[in-house]
Amino acid sequence: MSKHVAVIYGGWSAERPVSLSSGTECIKALREKGYRVTEIDAGRDLAAQLAAIDPKPDVVFNALHGRWGEDGCVQGLLEIMGIPYTHSGVRASSIAMDKMSAKAMFMEYDIPCARHVWVSRDEIAAGNALPPPYVLKPNNEGSSVGVEIILTAEEEQNMLAREWTHGDGVMQEEFIPGREMTVAVKDGKAMEIIEILTGNHAFYDFESKYVAGGSEHIIPADIPGDLRAKIQDCAEKAYRALGCRGIARADFRYDPTEDRVAILEINTQPGMTPTSLVPDAARHDGLSFADIVAWMVEDASCER
């Protein structure tokens, strides 16, 4: 008998639309592979939603993105309920979603990072922070939600004059010019590097990630072999540093003028939408979308 998979997606985070897209694609793929699939648009009563499924699912495929679904909360619930699940566990998920905590772990493992600080609006206004150019990032959002690039002092003043939408503080990170690279890591092993070209977009923002034609993915990235090995090694070290499981994806900037690589973050539940990057890496390795989704289901376990 085929496995019974409950796909949880949607949810109530800022990344709900992305999760709905990922979940829809994964549901189709799992049914294509012959799994019995139950769809759950996750609510705050997720425990009750799961408990109402009869028979109990063999596996939960976690297609949630953003807070609550990607930060260890749902992972802890699934462990309490004793249901095997995909992707990373409580510890890795919670650290990866907290950008400042993840940076601390990367630095502990000698993975190169851009300079970064935790700042308030008042500290930026008083000049007690990094000077432009820099990037502002909410500490616990994904999919580039809330990210701003501040290149000049004038842009900084304009930003401060607007309504502050980042809460009490934000991660301020040195802006590294150059090329955008990403590496999926599957079961601890780096896949092929993808370079992301964003055209008229200043960076790999929400629109360039999820709108068809918003970005171009070059795989394999056109880089020297020693640079490829360095970035892949950094991605694997980041995966191990946080204790990731299943598939994760590490994002990098590369400044060719200084031959400088810096990790930006690691995503423990990377997107599986029609424009996402992990499916591209899988296809390069000869795996169809359905193949890689089925692999995640077979890799699922409790206490990850």
Which residues are known to be catalytic?
Answer: 15, 143, 210, 249, 251, 265, 267, 271
Using DSSP, state whether 5 is helix, strand or coil.
strand
Dist CA 71 CA 27 (whole Å): 22
- Tokens 């309504």 belong to 163
Tell me the CB-side half-sphere exposure of residue 94, using CA atoms within 13 A: 9
Q: What is the DSSP letter of 68?
A: T
Beta strands in 43-146 (DSSP E): 59-62, 116-119, 134-137
| N- to C-terminal Cα separation, the chain | 25
Q: Record the tokens describing residue 64, joined without a space.
A: 């949630």
Dist CA 87 CA 264 (whole Å): 20
Alpha helices in 163-304 (DSSP H): 206-210, 225-242, 278-284, 289-299
Backbone torsions φ then ψ of 132, nearest 5 degrees: -60, 150
CA 115 to chain centroid? 20
Tell me the Cα Rg of the chain: 19
Pairing of strands 170-174, 148-150: unpaired
Number of helical H runs and strand E runs in the chain:
11, 12
